[in-house]
Amino acid sequence: MNKFLKEYSLQMSIVVTALVFAGAWIYTAGLKDRMQQKANVAVNQDEALMSGLEESVLPSEGVILPVVWGDLGKKLADTGIIDETKFKAIYEQRGTFTDEYKNLLLGENNGKLKITKENSGYLLNMLWALGLANKNSILETGEMMNPIYGGAQNFASTGGWNLARGNAMDHYSMYKLFILTPEQQALVEKISMGIYRPCCGNSTHFPDCNHGMAMLGLLELMASQNVSEQDMWKTALVVNSYWFPDTYMTIATYMQNKGIEWKDVSAQEILGADYSSARGYQNIASQIVVPKRQQNGCGI
């Protein structure tokens, strides 16, 4: 009898233990499922928030800029700052020389420029050529001509432009593509000193890289068409955002965390050194984490 009871007790212990383990496994599995579901919900919510923020910073439909391009592309090609054959070849090799691109380069009746994720690099190149070639005192007496740098030809914005006929410096500040009044020039001077870019610590007034030279060209174009100062700041922020999408998504996330929507930010403040210079941006970026996105407007 005792032997039977012992065997029975042993069997029951095994059964109970098995049930306990089974219950624990079911509980643990259920807990993991619930935790995974919550994690998935959180991820979906984060993605939705990021998607909404991205649409605010980088509208998928693009943004119409307050400047008419007209026949400027053709004028740039005629001067030689753009070698039409070289320029077209780059995009034809990529299979991206669209009718839009052709018209911007060779057309005579283009309307207002529209920047998108897809064409931001192309516009960067067009505006780079414009800023490089258009005659302006910023290029002739500003930081670019400081003798400590050994000459204006030594910068990325000049030495890096290899799409001209001949040497890029043959076209540097050579052509009066449009003439600015003293008031318009003063506005370009003022705003160019306040617009930075995250690839370096210089303002647009010192356009030593392609983004800086392109922004200078855009500012001159806007001023020549009497765009207001407020709209010039706003447009510059839009364009910088398409040229540096990771940067401005990060800054937008930072502002959102402070309770400020992107549509309410001060363009002049965001374009300043505290946010848009290399050092300013790194300070902002060190405080948050956002998903990486593909850079768009790199040019050439």
Q: How confident is the model at residue 128 (pLDDT cuts 50, 70, 90)?
A: very high
Residue 158 inside a domain? The answer is yes
Q: How confident is the model at residue 17 (pLDDT cuts 50, 70, 90)?
A: low
The 10 Å Cβ neighbour count of residue 8 is 10
Amino acid identity for residue 292 in this structure: K
Range of the domain at 224: 63-285
Instruction: Please report, for residues 34, 241, 271, the alpha-carbon distance to residue 255 in angstroms, rounded to integers and kept in the order given.
Output: 33, 14, 13
**pLDDT attached to residue 289:** 77
* Each residue's pLDDT tens digit, 67-124: 999 999 999 999 999 999 999 999 999 999 999 999 999 999 999 999 999 999 999 9
The whole-angstrom separation of Cα 95 and Cα 82 is 19
The whole-angstrom separation of Cα 19 and Cα 99 is 72
**pLDDT attached to residue 105:** 98
Q: How many domains does the chain have?
A: 1
Residue 246 inside a domain? The answer is yes
Q: Of 14-18, 91-95, 277-281, which gets the smallest average pLDDT?
A: 14-18
Residue 26 inside a domain? The answer is no
Residue 36 inside a domain? The answer is no
Residue 294 inside a domain? The answer is no
Q: Does residue 223 carry a pLDDT above 70?
A: yes
Q: Of 168-177, 246-255, 289-298, which gets the smallest average pLDDT?
A: 289-298
- The whole-chain average pLDDT of the chain stands at 88
Strand partners, 115: 63
Q: What is the mean pLDDT of residues 202-213?
A: 98
Instruction: Please report, for residues 112, 185, 219, the alpha-carbon distance to residue 226 in angstroms, rounded to integers and kept in the order given.
Output: 14, 11, 11
Name the residue with higher pLDDT: 145 or 10: 145
Q: What is the mean pLDDT of residues 26-54?
A: 57
Q: Does residue 1 carry a pLDDT above 90?
A: no
**pLDDT attached to residue 51:** 79
Q: How confident is the model at residue 27 (pLDDT cuts 50, 70, 90)?
A: low
Q: Does residue 21 carry a pLDDT above 60?
A: no
**pLDDT attached to residue 30:** 60
Residue 119 inside a domain? The answer is yes
Q: What is the mean pLDDT of residues 38-53?
A: 55
Residue 220: Cβ-neighbour burial (10 angstroms; 0-12, 13-18, 19+): buried
**pLDDT attached to residue 291:** 56
Phi and psi dihedrals of 63, rounded to 5?
Answer: -135, 130
